[in-house]
Structure 1
Amino acid sequence: MAKNQHVVPNKNGGWDVKGAGNSRATKHVATQAEATKIARDITKNQGSELFIHRPNGQIRERNSYGNDPYPPKG
């Protein structure tokens, strides 16, 4: 089962890429943009979802790269 990935601020500065439910970060980087690219690559590979958080921890953006429960018709 693929884990959803979260881009979250690190309390010591920088940004972390974390798998859902993991206590440790998969990767720690300096910028949110860099963390987002890494997390996007992981979610595309696993077919899971990406959650990008704001510096205050609130979810800013959410993208699905896997089994979308509500695919558009057409």
Structure 2
Amino acid sequence: MSKNDYNVYQGSDGKWRGERQDASRASVVGTTQQGVFQATRELAQKAQSEVSIHRGDNGKIRAKHSYGNDPKSTKG
């Protein structure tokens, strides 16, 4: 992951956060994972970076979305 990539995760207070990899605080905070992901996705698209969505129960990554930082195009 690069420093411009984002993570969507649930904080200890139950709120969802969208945060850039090396940031000290969240860029987006909300009550639903979907809402925070959509706002974080817009930031990642502008930065041509990646978003990792973490599960709320154990914090493991459940999905990754890439927006323009792929090293090359592949078929299929």
Do the structures match in fold with TM over 0.5? yes
Q: Which residue of 1 aligns with 2:5?
A: 4
Q: Which residue of 2 aligns with 1:27?
A: 28
Q: Structure 1 length as normaliser, TM-score? A: 0.88
Q: Structure 2 length as normaliser, TM-score? A: 0.86
Instruction: Give the unaligned 5+ runs of structure 2.
Output: none
Instruction: Say whether 1:59 aligns with 2:61.
Output: yes
Query: Deviation above 6 Å: which 4+ runs of structure 1?
Result: none
Give the Cα separation in 2 of the matches to 1:23 and 1:8. Answer: 14
Identity %: 35
Letter of the structure 2 residue corresponding to residue 68 of structure 1: D
Q: State the 1:69 CA deviation.
A: 2.5
Give the Cα separation in 1 of the matches to 2:61 and 2:41. Answer: 15
CA RMSD of aligned residues (A): 1.9
Q: State the 1:14 CA deviation.
A: 1.5
Q: Please give the per-residue CA displacement for 1:16-73, whole angstroms capped at 9, x wherever unaligned.
A: 0100022311121000000110111111111000100001210010011022125213
Give the Cα separation in 2 of the matches to 1:62 and 1:26. Answer: 18
Instruction: Give the unaligned 5+ runs of structure 1.
Output: none
